[in-house]
């Protein structure tokens, strides 16, 4: 910056700002390097390539860099053999520490070599930084990693320029920070690193969070942004290993650090005596014991050292206690002393580990010292820091002046009048003896009664006339010093305490006696005390001596200066605060150096540079053959400048003269430029005129040609326009005609179509009316028939009941005759062999009970009759005696004779009355006995009815068991037949097998009344069939080649496959393809051959038709065909040997039609071997006869069954996929729709209701569509019913699970919405009829009951029994509990069930918690096939294949004449 034309503060600031925007953070001011902190990583500036660039480069040759300063110092040391020093200064956060690291890195790069035991000296020097930073750096307001001590690193070099040793000197560690910090600053890093150590170490030292310790929680800042304390702890341990600190020493170091934290948590309370103190509480006692344990000293001795002091007088030794405030001061003093000794030990250990070279002749010292500080509150630390900066500034000024002096002397110019500004007066104010501030502070510290106020008053009196010392007006303890960088206000409150450096004798004795060698080494025993041993020592004096030693070291070296600058206070990149930077430049002495340069000759240029730049001011001088020095002198004289000087090689100009020369040079250059511009502009104007004239001539010729061509084109366009108009008008007329014609045709078409639609609509309505009338009449007739049938049944039941009661009375009268009952019992024993003993016991008990009751009833009746007779006789006697007495009284003589008669009559009357009373009592007893007998009789009748029901149920079970056994026997026979077929196939290669397969088959035709052969005597059918048999066998007997027959059969098969691959449709509700396949296979006797490919081809055709098919119409078509064909095969095919293996059994009356038919077939051995049937023999289902099927036929049947199940599953799954998205919309009603239902009127409610059930109507539409497709393809109702049953089960599972999983669905309004949708499904089931819907509505029982529970009112009044038995009997306790807990009423605000019911549910669930099945409240979807082949054969109706007409392709072929009907 010394080369700037305007060398003043704005120019310097502008230059720094411009370079900072370009990330050029380094700038030279002479040989002073200014480094601006970028607050971001710039790795390209410090890599190995950059070091290689600056190695050996001349100063100023490359861009300014910290490596250039280090390289200059290193080259000066090597070349001149003189020690050098690099002084790095700046305020906190300016980047001093990072700059120091970069300097040491570069010096290690230049002079590095391997050290002892694998560790290099330079590596130990670099790795010492993390250790010193951990114990000497802390977060301040201005910097997150501020060095709170000064550091001077001496790097020693040998004769070859290699690093041979190093030493680190530290200055003024900020001890007060250990005990006192302000928010948002932090204490030293090591405390936080130890609190973030691994858990086992924290437990060993009994540490916790930093917020638990008094020395750390005075500030709320515990962590730094972007810094991991746990990671930094491990890095510090690794750095300790490198610098040579052993594991035992590391453990002792962190034990001391932990002891300091625990020491800070010891608190004191007032004791019983005056000015005494004791440990406050148990928590403080715990920390006291922990501190003693970590320092390995006695806890009682530690307590005494903190709260007691021993005073030695000539007469006696006095022990006094300290008050709580003094005890706290003693505690903090001990903590500061321990930490200071620990830091000094670390520095000494690092120096010993690195090692020093006593033979080294030259060093390079790197000074990392704190910069000038001025805070809101400034104490003793800022005073010492600013004192250091005053010393360094004096050294800096002297060095700058010295460089200027050397430059002027070298060039032999006169410089004696340059004024030099010195700050010696400020240094005298601070350090002069005996009247300096430090001397007065030491004096005040030596007097016990001195306070900070007396110290301040002493300063006021001593320096009241010093211009550098200012007393504030409103403070009695503060003072201001006018430093070179500005005024700083100091608070003298803590000066005395912070200046004292002696160790309390009790503390020294306590720690010297520690059993820990490390702690004892920190406090070595002092020499024997004498009267002079207690001489006072202070921090200020010691610091002054260290600073004096440092200045001596710097004076003996060649200094190089680096001034670090902090661009902003927010510590963020790309922010340049002008006021902040200009203040730092002033504090760093940069502007003072510029002022010194400006006081002399700040601008200097070599003769060549001066002539090259300012030769234009005197061209005649350049033209003459003058010497450079003379030429420069002539130019300066011509310009009239005064005060300049000319040296031997340079021109020295005063401040501002360079700017004046530049201004005159600009005027000369401006005049020359204007002359050149005038000539150039004349040349350009003439050239433009000539070009413009040429262009005008060319333009005129072009324009004339354009006008001629335009006239020609206009005439040509007019002629063309006339022609176009003619053609266009003709086109318009034709188009208008065609439009009118087309409109007329369209109108006629529309009118005719409308008339046709009206006619069609009328006919459709007429047919619909006729259809409705037919249905209504059928319904009326059916209803009348049903009512008549019901009335007849009721009448029959009444009459039969009456007859049964009459018969029962007769049986009671003849109860002893048990012959009929015994006969019935014998019949029952014959019918049910398995239940004989149980029925015998039950009937025997019933018989005995009836006999006993009958006898008892007879006895009671006889006794009752006898008693009634006696009562009647007694009554008659009484009446007769009364009559006799009355007559006797009437006929009696006078009164005298009456008395004995009256007495006698009275006695008799009394006896008769007593007898009557006894008879009444007997009558009552008999009546009660009769009532009891009647009740017993009723009980016996009830038990008899139960026994009758059990007998009937036993009969039904026996029938079912017989039917099941029969079915199992059939399956066993089929399995054995298949096994036999497999064995025959395995032996097919043997001659025996071939002989067996070549045997002729017998033809046996059953003659039964059903087919009309035996009863009606129609021998024609038999003769026809015999003739057909002979016709079929004639070609074989004719001896034609087998090849021609096979080719013809192959052609027929190809034609059949080609035909069935098309959609043949249905005939009379029967699938044509299935019937045609069945008739062809039966005619070709394919079921009875050992090998054939027709089955595989049919299966492949079906597979290709349904594979990957999503069309429901195609799938329904093939489902109808496969089910019909499987039914025909099930009723026709019979495994070989099945008739002989199946025993003959009598079927019950409840057997199905198929069961009766198959039983009848098995009962007639003559019908088991029907080989084939032609078209004439397939007139009815009764004509179907079983044939013995071989292995291919049985395999074909199994494959057909598999395809039937696959097609069924595809139809079901496609329908599930179609309705699945709609189910997600049906489980929860839209909120707007719910509000509309409540707030709107009736019409609005109807519209909202219609909108609400739109999704449900979509599901119903899908169901209707599927039902319509399956009906159109005549899918058996049994399969349709199964499809919709599983679909409704799927709907039930999806809706119910969604209801249980989503709380918003368990609301009252949502229950109404789902209930409305379920009503739509119920209506669909009713419309679909039970034939197709079946029990599908019952599959929705879970969701129906759950929705019903949601919409009922007064839920809190419902008991658990009512809920589980009446409202929701299907739902489990887990499901009811979840619905009850998730329910919320968004419409009326009602509550769910009571808390008692919830508690009972929870209890029942805890009892069933071991059951994994009961713990689940969700339903599972069943995707299995819900039917078997037997179910299909039982449920499907008879199929008459005779009336099915073949398609035209088959009808025209002569090989398929057997498919034609009889009439054809």
Is 1101 annotated as ligand-binding? no
Q: Flag whether pLDDT at 992 surpasses 50.
A: no
Say what the pLDDT of residue 1139 is: 36
Say what the pLDDT of residue 191 is: 93
> What phi and psi values does residue 469 have, to the nearest 5 degrees?
-115, 130
Is 1068 annotated as ligand-binding? no
* CA atoms of 542 and 389, how far apart (whole Å): 17
Say what the pLDDT of residue 732 is: 95
pLDDT (tens digit per residue) in 125-171: 777 888 988 999 999 887 788 888 888 888 888 888 888 888 888 88
Contact 1323, 1402 (CB under 8 A): no
Total residues found in the chain within this entry: 1464
Q: Flag whether pLDDT at 787 surpasses 90.
A: yes
Which member of 30, 93, 111, 589 is catalytic? Answer: 93
Is 906 annotated as ligand-binding? no
Which member of 373, 381, 390, 404 is catalytic? Answer: 373
Question: Quick one: pLDDT band at residue 895, thresholds 50, 70, 90?
Answer: very low
Question: Quick one: pLDDT band at residue 489, thresholds 50, 70, 90?
Answer: very high
Q: What are the tokens at 396?
A: 């800096």
Q: Flag whether pLDDT at 1270 surpasses 50.
A: yes
Write down the mean pLDDT value for the chain: 80
Q: Flag whether pLDDT at 1035 surpasses 80.
A: no
Name the DSSP class of 884.
H
> Where would I find the H helices in 355-477?
380-411, 424-431, 437-446, 452-462
Q: Which of 116-125, 275-284, 936-945, 1282-1291 has the lowest mean pLDDT?
A: 116-125
Say what the pLDDT of residue 1008 is: 34
pTM: 0.47
Which member of 37, 140, 146, 187 is catalytic? Answer: 146
* CA atoms of 1 and 1439, how far apart (whole Å): 114
Contacts of 332 (CB under 8 A, 6+ apart): 178, 179, 180, 264
Q: Flag whether pLDDT at 1140 surpasses 50.
A: no
Q: Flag whether pLDDT at 713 surpasses 90.
A: yes
* CA atoms of 276 and 662, how far apart (whole Å): 81
Kindly give the interhelix angle for 1112-1132 and 1094-1106, rounded to the nearest 10 degrees.
Answer: 150
Q: Flag whether pLDDT at 969 surpasses 60.
A: yes
Radius of gyration of the chain measured on its C-alpha atoms: 63
pLDDT (tens digit per residue) in 334-344: 998 999 999 99
Give the residue from 905, 879, 881, 880 showing the smallest Cα distance to 892.
905
* CA atoms of 611 and 618, how far apart (whole Å): 10
* CA atoms of 1081 and 1094, how far apart (whole Å): 9
pLDDT (tens digit per residue) in 1192-1230: 888 888 888 998 899 988 998 898 888 888 887 787 766
Question: Quick one: pLDDT band at residue 355, thresholds 50, 70, 90?
Answer: confident
Say what the pLDDT of residue 979 is: 60
Q: Flag whether pLDDT at 742 surpasses 90.
A: yes
pLDDT (tens digit per residue) in 870-890: 888 888 887 887 788 778 777
Q: Flag whether pLDDT at 1028 surpasses 90.
A: no
Question: Quick one: pLDDT band at residue 543, thresholds 50, 70, 90?
Answer: confident
Is 1116 annotated as ligand-binding? no
Highest mean pLDDT among 96-105, 536-545, 1028-1037: 96-105
Is 940 annotated as ligand-binding? no
Q: Which of 155-164, 605-614, 1162-1171 has the lowest mean pLDDT?
A: 1162-1171
Is 313 annotated as ligand-binding? no
Q: Flag whether pLDDT at 1191 surpasses 80.
A: yes
Say what the pLDDT of residue 878 is: 79
Which member of 27, 89, 97, 129 is catalytic? Answer: 97
Q: Flag whether pLDDT at 1019 surpasses 90.
A: no
* CA atoms of 287 and 261, how far apart (whole Å): 9
Task: List, as one string, the DSSP characters of 1337-1381.
Answer: GGGGHHHHHHHHHHH-S-GGG--HHHIIIII-SSS-HHHHHHHHH
* CA atoms of 369 and 385, how far apart (whole Å): 9
What percent of the chain shows pLDDT beyond 70? 83
Q: Flag whether pLDDT at 1311 surpasses 80.
A: yes
Q: How many CA within 13 A on the CB side of residue 1040?
A: 11
Say what the pLDDT of residue 5 is: 58
Say what the pLDDT of residue 1029 is: 31
Give the residue from 407, 794, 771 showing the smallest Cα distance to 600.
407
Say what the pLDDT of residue 887 is: 81
Say what the pLDDT of residue 531 is: 36
Token match 């004779």: residue? 897
Q: Are strands 84-89 and 558-565 parallel, antiparallel or unpaired?
A: parallel
Is 95 annotated as ligand-binding? yes
pLDDT (tens digit per residue) in 1067-1108: 888 898 888 888 888 888 888 888 888 888 898 888 888 887
Say what the pLDDT of residue 1024 is: 37
Q: Which of 497-501, 744-748, 1174-1178 has the lowest mean pLDDT?
A: 1174-1178
| CA angle centred on 1415, ends 1412 and 1417, rounded to 5° | 130
Contacts of 571 (CB under 8 A, 6+ apart): 39, 93, 143, 144
Which residue has better confidence, 2 or 847? 847
Assess whether 1335 carries a catalytic annotation. no
Assess whether 97 carries a catalytic annotation. yes
Q: Flag whether pLDDT at 940 surpasses 60.
A: yes
Say what the pLDDT of residue 587 is: 74
Q: How many CA within 13 A on the CB side of residue 145?
A: 16
Say what the pLDDT of residue 993 is: 35
Question: Quick one: pLDDT band at residue 608, thresholds 50, 70, 90?
Answer: confident
Highest mean pLDDT among 253-257, 376-380, 523-527: 253-257
Which member of 29, 31, 137, 147 is catalytic? Answer: 147
Is 810 annotated as ligand-binding? no
Q: Flag whether pLDDT at 1025 surpasses 60.
A: no
Q: Flag whether pLDDT at 692 surpasses 90.
A: yes
What does the pLDDT average to over 1176-1183? 38
4, with CB counted inside 10 A (0-12, 13-18, 19+), is: middle
Q: Which of 805-809, 1005-1009, 1197-1201 has the lowest mean pLDDT?
A: 1005-1009
Edge-first strand order for the sheet with 84-89 is: 26-29, 32-36, 558-565, 84-89, 362-368, 150-157, 163-171
Which residue has better confidence, 942 or 118? 942
Token match 């459709």: residue? 764
What does the pLDDT average to over 1126-1143? 63
Q: Which residues make beta-bridge pairs with 155?
A: 166, 364
* CA atoms of 895 and 892, how far apart (whole Å): 8
**Is residue 434 reached through a cis peptide bond, with omega within 30 degrees of 0 on the bond before it?**
yes
pLDDT (tens digit per residue) in 365-419: 999 887 788 888 888 888 988 898 888 888 887 777 777 777 778 887 876 655 6
Which member of 143, 514, 1086, 1174 is catalytic? Answer: 143
Say what the pLDDT of residue 45 is: 86
Name the DSSP class of 313.
-
CA dist list (Å): 1382 to 172, 1353, 1361, 1379, 1385 = 71, 16, 20, 5, 10
Task: List, as one string, the DSSP characters of 1062-1128.
Answer: S---EETTEEHHHHHHHHHHHHTTGGG-S--SHHHHHHHHHHHHHTT---HHHHHHHHHHHHHHHHH
Which member of 27, 31, 85, 92 is catalytic? Answer: 92
Assess whether 1065 carries a catalytic annotation. no
Which member of 30, 365, 371, 1317 is catalytic? Answer: 371
* CA atoms of 1311 and 695, how far apart (whole Å): 92
């Amino acid at each position: 910056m010394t080369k700037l034309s305007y060398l003043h503060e704005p120019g310097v600031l502008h230059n720094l700002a411009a370079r900072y925007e370009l990330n050029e953070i380094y700038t030279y001011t002479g040989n002073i390097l200014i480094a601006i902190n970028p607050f971001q990583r710039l790795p390209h500036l410090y890599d190995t390539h950059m070091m290689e660039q600056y190695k050996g480069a001349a100063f100023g040759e490359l861009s300014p860099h910290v490596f250039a300063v280090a390289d200059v110092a290193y080259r000066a040391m090597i070349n001149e053999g003189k020690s050098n020093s690099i002084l790095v200064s700046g305020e906190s956060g300016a980047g001093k520490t990072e700059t120091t690291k970069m300097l040491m890195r570069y010096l290690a790069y230049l002079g590095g070599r391997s050290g002892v035991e694998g560790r290099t000296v330079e590596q130990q020097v670099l790795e010492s930084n993390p250790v010193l930073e951990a114990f000497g750096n802390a977060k301040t307001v201005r910097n997150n990693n501020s060095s709170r001590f000064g550091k001077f690193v001496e790097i020693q070099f040998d004769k070859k320029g290699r690093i041979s040793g190093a030493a680190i000197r530290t200055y003024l560690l900020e001890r007060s920070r250990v005990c006192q910090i302000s928010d948002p600053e932090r204490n030293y890093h090591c405390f936080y690193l130890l609190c973030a150590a691994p858990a086992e170490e924290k437990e060993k030292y009994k540490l916790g969070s930093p917020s638990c310790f008094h020395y750390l929680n005075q500030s709320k800042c515990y962590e730094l942004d972007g810094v991991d304390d746990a990671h930094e702890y491990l890095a510090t341990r690794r750095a300790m290993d490198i610098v040579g600190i052993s594991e035992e020493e590391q453990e002792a170091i962190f034990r001391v650090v932990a002891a300091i934290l625990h020491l800070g948590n010891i608190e004191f309370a007032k004791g019983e005596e005056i000015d005494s103190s004791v440990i406050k509480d148990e928590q403080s006692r715990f920390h006291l014991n922990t501190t003693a344990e970590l320092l390995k000293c006695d806890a009682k001795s530690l307590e005494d050292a903190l709260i007691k002091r021993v005073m030695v007088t000539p007469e006696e030794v006095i022990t006094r206690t300290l008050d709580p405030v003094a005890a706290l001061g003693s505690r903090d003093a001990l903590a500061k002393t321990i930490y200071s000794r620990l830091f000094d030990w670390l520095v000494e250990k690092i120096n010993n580990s690195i090692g020093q070279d006593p033979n080294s002749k030259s060093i390079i010292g790197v000074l990392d010292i704190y910069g000038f500080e001025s805070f809101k509150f400034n104490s003793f630390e800022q005073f010492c820091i600013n004192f250091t900066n005053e010393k360094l500034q004096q050294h800096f000024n002297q060095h700058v002046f010295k460089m200027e002096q050397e430059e002027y002397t070298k060039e032999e110019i006169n410089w004696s009048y340059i004024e030099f500004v010195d700050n010696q007066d400020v240094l005298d104010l601070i350090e002069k003896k005996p009247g300096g501030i430090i001397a007065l502070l030491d004096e005040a510290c030596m007097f016990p009664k001195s306070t900070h106020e007396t110290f301040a008053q002493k300063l006021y009196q001593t320096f009241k006339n010093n211009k550098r010392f200012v007393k504030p007006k409103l403070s009695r303890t503060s003072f201001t010093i006018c430093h070179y960088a500005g005024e700083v206000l100091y608070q003298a409150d803590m000066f005395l305490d912070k200046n004292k450096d002696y160790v309390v004798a009790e503390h020294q004795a306590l720690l010297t006696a520690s059993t820990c060698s490390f702690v004892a080494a920190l406090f070595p025993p002092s020499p024997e005390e004498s009267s002079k041993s207690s001489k006072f020592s202070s921090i200020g004096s010691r610091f002054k001596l260290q600073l004096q030693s440092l200045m001596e070291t710097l004076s003996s070296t060649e200094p190089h200066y680096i001034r670090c600058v902090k661009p902003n206070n927010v510590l963020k990149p790309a922010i340049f605060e002008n006021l902040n930077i200009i203040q730092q430049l002033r504090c760093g002495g940069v502007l003072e150096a510029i002022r010194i340069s400006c006081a002399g000759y700040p601008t200097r240029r070599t003769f060549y540079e001066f002539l090259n730049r300012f030769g234009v001011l005197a061209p005649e001088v350049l033209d003459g053959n003058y010497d450079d020095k003379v030429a420069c002198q002539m130019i300066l004289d011509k310009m009239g400048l005064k005060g300049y000087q000319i040296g031997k090689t340079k021109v020295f100009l005063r401040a501002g003269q360079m700017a004046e020369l530049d201004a005159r040079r600009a005027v000369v250059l401006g005049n020359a430029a204007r002359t050149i511009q005038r000539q150039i502009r004349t040349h350009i104007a003439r050239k433009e005129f000539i070009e413009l004239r040429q262009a005008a001539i060319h333009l005129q010729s072009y324009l004339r040609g354009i006008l001629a061509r335009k006239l020609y084109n206009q005439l040509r366009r007019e002629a063309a326009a006339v022609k176009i108009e003619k053609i266009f008008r003709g086109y318009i007329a034709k188009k208008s005609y065609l439009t009118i014609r087309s409109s007329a045709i369209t109108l006629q078409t529309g009118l005719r179509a409308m008339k046709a639609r009206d006619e069609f609509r009328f006919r459709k309505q007429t047919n619909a009316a006729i259809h409705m009338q037919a249905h209504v009449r059928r319904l009326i007739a059916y209803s009348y028939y049903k009512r008549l049938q019901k009335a007849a049944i009721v009448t029959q039941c009444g009459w039969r009941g009456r007859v049964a009661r009459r018969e029962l009375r007769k049986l009671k009268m003849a109860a002893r005759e048990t012959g009929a009952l015994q006969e019935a019992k014998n019949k029952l024993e014959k019918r049910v062999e398995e239940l004989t003993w149980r029925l015998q016991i039950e009937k025997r008990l019933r018989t005995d009970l009836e006999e006993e009751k009958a006898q008892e009833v007879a006895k009671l009746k006889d006794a009752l009759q006898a008693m009634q007779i006696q009562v009647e006789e007694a009554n008659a006697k009484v009446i007769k005696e009364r009559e006799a007495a009355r007559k006797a009284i009437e006929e009696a003589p006078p009164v005298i004779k009456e008395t004995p008669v009256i007495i006698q009559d009275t006695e008799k009357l009394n006896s008769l009355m007593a007898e009557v009373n006894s008879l009444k009592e007997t009558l009552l007893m008999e009546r009660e006995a009769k009532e009891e007998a009647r009740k017993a009789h009723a009980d016996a009748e009830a038990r008899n009815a139960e026994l009758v029901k059990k007998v009937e149920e036993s009969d039904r079970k026996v029938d079912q068991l017989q039917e099941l056994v029969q079915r199992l026997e059939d399956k066993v026979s089929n399995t054995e037949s298949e096994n036999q077929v497999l064995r025959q196939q395995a032996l097919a290669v043997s001659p025996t097998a071939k002989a067996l397969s070549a045997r002729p088959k017998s033809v046996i035709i059953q003659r039964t009344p059903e087919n009309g052969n035996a009863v009606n005597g129609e021998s024609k059918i038999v003769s026809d069939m015999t003739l057909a048999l002979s016709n079929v066998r004639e070609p074989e007997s004719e001896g034609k080649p087998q090849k021609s027959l096979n080719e013809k059969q192959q052609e027929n098969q190809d034609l059949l496959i080609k035909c069935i691959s098309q959609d043949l449709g249905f005939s009379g509700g029967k699938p044509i393809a299935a019937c045609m396949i069945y008739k062809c296979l039966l005619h070709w006797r394919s079921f009875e051959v050992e090998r054939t490919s027709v089955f595989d081809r049919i299966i492949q055709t079906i597979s290709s038709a349904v594979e990957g098919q999503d069309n429901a119409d195609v799938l329904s078509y093939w489902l109808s065909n496969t089910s019909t064909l499987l039914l025909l095969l099930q009723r026709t095919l019979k495994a070989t040997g099945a008739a002989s293996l199946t025993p003959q059994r009598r079927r019950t009356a409840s057997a199905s039609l198929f069961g009766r038919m198959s039983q009848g077939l098995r009962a007639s051995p003559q019908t088991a071997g029907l080989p084939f049937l032609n078209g004439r023999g397939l007139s009815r289902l009764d004509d179907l006869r079983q044939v013995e099927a071989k292995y291919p036929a049985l395999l074909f049947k199994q494959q057909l069954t598999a395809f039937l199940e696959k097609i069924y599953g595809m139809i079901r799954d496609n329908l599930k996929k179609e309705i699945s998205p709609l189910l997600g919309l049906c489980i929860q009603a839209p909120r707007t729709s719910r509000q509309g239902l409540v707030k709107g009127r009736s019409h609005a409610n109807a519209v909202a209701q219609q909108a609400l059930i739109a999704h449900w109507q979509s599901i119903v539409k899908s169901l209707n569509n599927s039902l319509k497709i399956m009906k159109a393809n005549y899918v058996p109702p049994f399969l349709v019913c199964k499809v919709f049953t599983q679909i409704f089960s799927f709907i039930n599972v999806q809706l119910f699970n969604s209801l249980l999983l989503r709380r918003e669905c368990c609301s009252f309004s949502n229950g109404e919405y789902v209930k409305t949708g379920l009503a739509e499904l119920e209506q669909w089931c009713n419309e679909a009829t039970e034939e197709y819907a079946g029990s599908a509505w019952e599959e929705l029982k879970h969701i129906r009951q759950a929705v019903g529970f949601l919409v009922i009112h007064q839920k809190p009044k419902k008991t658990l029994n009512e809920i589980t038995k009446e409202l929701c009997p299907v739902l489990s306790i887990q499901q009811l509990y979840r619905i009850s807990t998730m329910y919320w009423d968004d419409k009326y605000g009602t509550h769910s069930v009571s808390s008692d019911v919830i508690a009972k549910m929870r209890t029942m669930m805890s009892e069933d918690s071991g059951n994994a099945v009961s713990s689940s409240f969700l339903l599972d979807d069943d995707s299995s096939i819900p039917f078997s082949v037997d179910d299909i054969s039982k449920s499907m109706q008879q199929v008459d294949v005779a009336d099915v007409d073949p398609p035209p392709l088959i009808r025209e072929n002569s090989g398929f004449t057997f498919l034609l009907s009889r009439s054809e």
